[in-house]
A and B are shown apart, each in its own frame.
Chain A
Amino acid sequence: MGVVQERSSEYAMEIRDLAIRYVTDEATVYAVNHIDLKLRPQGTLGLVGETGAGKTTTVLSILNLIQTPPGVIDSGEIFVNGRNVREMTPAELSEMRGKEVSMIFQDPMTSLNPVMTVGEQIAESILLHENVDKKTAYEMAKKTLETVGIPGERAGEYPHQFSGGMKQRVVIAIALACHPNVLIADEPTTALDVTIQAQVLDLMRKLKESYHTSTILITHDLGVVAEICDEVAVMYAGSIVEIGSLREVYKNTLHPYTEGLFNSLPNMGDRASELRPIKGLTPDPTKIYEGCTFAERCPYASEECLKRRPQLKDAGENHKVACLAYEREGFAIERSRKP
C-alpha cells in the first residue's frame, strides 16, 4: 500500500482504470470505460472529445461528485496528491474540494448564485478552507478579484451587474481563491465569444504560472488546446484513443478519430475547401462493443477492428494510441502521409 501511495504522488492527479456507468430503468449508459490519466505537477492536460464522450463524468469523479444513483463506479482509483479520493471520508472530501482540487464550470451565466454578491461567493470558499474570520475573508476575496483583473470595489455587486467575460473571471477567481493544486476547467470558454475567449485563456495561462497550478482543461476546441496545453488526451465514447504531448498529437497524429477532428476544422489557408466532418454518429453508449468503438465510422477499418478491442500502446516518445491498424505493416493515416 505504502509503495503504491508513494508512486502516485509523483503526479498531481492520477486516475487508474476508471469505469463509470449510469444505470436507469430503461438502459445502462457506459460513460467511462477503463481509462487511465495522469496529470504532472504544473502541467496542463487537454481533454478533447465530442459531447457525450465522458469528459465531464471523468473530471467530476476526481471531486467524487458523481451522483449515485444513477452513477455506478465499477472500478478505478483516483489519487489527488497521493491520496485516494474514493477512500476519503465526507469531511476529508469537503476539505479536499475547493482547497486541493477546484473546478471552473462551463457556463458563467449559471454558475454564479444570483442572490449573493460576487465578493460573498469568493469569500465563502475562503471561509471554508482558510482559518480566517469573515472580514479577512472578504478582504482576501477583494484581492482575488483584483488578480483576475476586476477592481476590488466591485466585490459588493451582484452577478447580473457583470458582463459574461467578467462573470467567467469571477468564476475563475472563486476557483483560485484557495490556491488549489489541481484546477479543472470544464469548457471554460464555450459560452463566451471569441475575443473574450482569448482574454480568459490568457488570464488562465498567467494565473497558472503565478500559482503553479496543474490544470485539466476540457474542451472540444482544438485551437484552445494548442493555446495552453502541453499534453492532450483524446476521448471517444468513454475511452482514451490517443494521448501524448501536444507536439506529438498535433504534428504526428496517429488515431483516425483525431485525424477526423482535425479534418473537421475549417482550413484558413484554403478557404474554398469544404469541411470534412467525420461520417456517422457517436456510438450508442448503452451498447457494449466487442471491437473498436470507432470502427463503424473509421475510413481505415478492417474486419479485425469489429472483433477486437484495441488497447493503448506506446507509439513514440510520450505518445500512446489505441488503434489496431498499426499492427499492419507500414500503416499510416492520411494526415501523416502528407509531406
Chain B
Amino acid sequence: MLFKKSKKIDDGRSIYVKKSRMQEIWHQFQKNKGAVVGLIMLIIIIGIAIVSGFVFDYKEDICARHAATRLIKPCLEHPFGTDQMGRSVLARVLYGTRYSLLIGIVVVGVSTGIGTMLGAIAGYYGGKIETVIMRIVEIFMMIPNILLGIIFVAAFGISLTNLMLALGLSTVPHFARTARSSVMTVRGNEYVEAAKAMGVSDFKIIFTHVLPNALSAILVQATTRVASAIISAATFSFIGLGVPSPTPEWGAMLSDARQNMRDFPHLVIFPGLAIMVTVLAINLVGDGLRDALDPKLKR
C-alpha cells in the first residue's frame, strides 16, 4: 500500500495521501517477520537494561560474595543458579545487558563518527586526499582486530573505556570504506552540483546533501557492527583483556566460570545464551533494515 487514508481537506472529506519516506521504510520493515521479532526482542533487551539499573543494587546483588549460596544449580529460588562467589547468575546476566549494550553503542558511535567523516571526505573530494586517507585506513585494516585491541589495552591499561576505544578504533576502517563508496555514488548526483551552483560550501554540501543520502548503507553497517562489537567485547573479557572482574560483563562471566564449567554448566549456558539472543536480535533488525532501505527491493 503506497497510500494511506489520512489527510482531511477543508470540507471534511478524507483524501489519500502518499506515504512519507519513514512510513514507507516502516512498511517494508514490517513485511519481514524475522525483523519484527528481532525488534521486539531488542526492545525487551533495552527494557531489561534500563530496568535492571533500578531493580538491582550493584554492590549488594551483583558483586557481593555470599559464601552460603556458592554454586547452586538452577532451582526455584535461583532460576539461573549461583556462581562460585554465591551471586545470582540471573541478576548478573540481566545486569550485564547494560554493559553489552553500552559497549555496542559506544563502539559503533566512535567508529561511525570517525569512519564516516574520513570516508565522506575521501569519497567527496577524491584525488590525492582520497588516496592518502584510504591507504592509511587500509593499513589499519591489515592489523587483526584482536591484535590492535591487545596493543591498545597493553599500552593504556585494562578498563571498560579502553576496551571500547580499542574496539571502536579497530572498526573505523569498515565504516570509512562503506561511507566512501556510498558517498561516491551520491556525489555524482545532479543535486550536489546544483548545490555547488547555488554557492553552498563543501562542508555544508557533505552534511546536508551527501551524507543524509548515503546514510542507509552506513546505518545498516552500524546495526550489524553493534552485534560484532558485543561479541568482540565478550572475547576480550574472556581472555582477560576486557572488562575486569567482578563487573558482570557476559564475556567476563564466561571467563570466571572456566574452572567450574564441567560440573556447573549453567554458569556458561546463561551468559552464552544472553550473548546469542542479543546478537541474534540485532542482526535480525539489521537485516530487516537493509531490506527496507534497499531501493531495488522496493515494491
* Contact assessment for B194 and A93 in the assembled complex, using a CB-CB cutoff below 8 Å: no
B67 within 8 Å of A (CB atoms): no
A114 within 8 Å of B (CB atoms): yes
* Contact assessment for A97 and B21 in the assembled complex, using a CB-CB cutoff below 8 Å: no
* Contact assessment for B190 and A129 in the assembled complex, using a CB-CB cutoff below 8 Å: no
Q: Which residues of B contact A89 (CB under 8 A)?
A: none
Query: Which listed residue, B18, B191, B201, touches A113 by the CB 8 Å rule?
Result: B191
**What separation, in Å, do the CA atoms of A111 and B191 have in the docked complex?**
4
Q: Which residues of B contact A275 (CB under 8 A)?
A: none
Query: Which listed residue, B18, B21, B194, B208, touches A111 by the CB 8 Å rule?
Result: B194
B131 within 8 Å of A (CB atoms): no
Query: Which listed residue, B21, B127, B199, touches A128 by the CB 8 Å rule?
Result: B199
Query: Which listed residue, A105, A115, A158, touches B194 by the CB 8 Å rule?
Result: A105
* A120 nearest in chain B by CB position: B208
Query: Which listed residue, B191, B199, B208, touches A98 by the CB 8 Å rule?
Result: B199
Q: Chain A nearest CB: distance from B36 CB in Å? A: 25
* Contact assessment for B213 and A102 in the assembled complex, using a CB-CB cutoff below 8 Å: no
Q: Which residues of B contact A105 (CB under 8 A)?
A: 190, 193-194, 197
A230 within 8 Å of B (CB atoms): no
Q: Which residues of B contact A102 (CB under 8 A)?
A: 197-198
Interface centre among B20, B198, B208 (most CB of A within 10 A): B198
Q: Which residues of A contact B127 (CB under 8 A)?
A: 69
Interface string of B185-203 (1 = CB under 8 A from A): 0000111011111111100
Q: Chain A nearest CB: distance from B177 CB in Å? A: 22
Q: Which residues of B contact A98 (CB under 8 A)?
A: 197-199
Q: Which residues of A contact B191 (CB under 8 A)?
A: 110-113
Interface string of A95-125 (1 = CB under 8 A from B): 1111100110111001111111000000011
**What separation, in Å, do the CA atoms of A110 and B196 have in the docked complex?**
14
B104-141 contacts to A (CB < 8 Å): 127
Q: Which residues of A contact B197 (CB under 8 A)?
A: 63, 65, 97-98, 102-103, 105
**What separation, in Å, do the CA atoms of A331 and B182 have in the docked complex?**
58
Known contacts A124-B208, A158-B20; A110 and B198 CB within 8 A of each other: no
Query: Which listed residue, A97, A110, A116, touches B199 by the CB 8 Å rule?
Result: A97
**What separation, in Å, do the CA atoms of A116 and B20 have in the docked complex?**
12
**What separation, in Å, do the CA atoms of A125 and B208 have in the docked complex?**
13
* B17 nearest in chain A by CB position: A161
Q: Chain A nearest CB: distance from B201 CB in Å? A: 6
* Contact assessment for B198 and A128 in the assembled complex, using a CB-CB cutoff below 8 Å: yes
Q: Chain B nearest CB: distance from A19 CB in Å? A: 22
* B201 nearest in chain A by CB position: A94
Interface centre among B20, B199, B201 (most CB of A within 10 A): B199
Interface string of B1-25 (1 = CB under 8 A from A): 0000000000000000010110000
Q: Which residues of A contact B198 (CB under 8 A)?
A: 97-98, 102, 124-125, 128, 174
* Contact assessment for B194 and A96 in the assembled complex, using a CB-CB cutoff below 8 Å: no
B209 within 8 Å of A (CB atoms): yes
B265 within 8 Å of A (CB atoms): no
* Contact assessment for A114 and B213 in the assembled complex, using a CB-CB cutoff below 8 Å: yes
Q: Chain A nearest CB: distance from B287 CB in Å? A: 23
* Contact assessment for B196 and A116 in the assembled complex, using a CB-CB cutoff below 8 Å: no
Q: Chain A nearest CB: distance from B74 CB in Å? A: 51
* Contact assessment for B213 and A113 in the assembled complex, using a CB-CB cutoff below 8 Å: yes
B212 within 8 Å of A (CB atoms): yes
* A109 nearest in chain B by CB position: B190
Q: Chain B nearest CB: distance from A192 CB in Å? A: 15
* Contact assessment for A96 and B199 in the assembled complex, using a CB-CB cutoff below 8 Å: yes
The 10 listed contacts between A and B (C-beta, < 8 Å) are A65-B197, A94-B199, A97-B198, A105-B194, A113-B212, A115-B213, A128-B198, A158-B21, A160-B18, A171-B194
- 9 more contacts with CB within 8 A, not counting A102-B197, A114-B21, are A65-B196, A98-B199, A105-B190, A106-B190, A110-B190, A111-B193, A113-B208, A116-B208, A158-B21
Interface residues of A (CB under 8 A from B): 63, 65, 69, 93-99, 102-103, 105-107, 110-116, 124-125, 128-129, 158, 160-161, 171, 174
A-B pairs with the 3 shortest C-beta distances? A97-B199, A98-B198, A111-B190
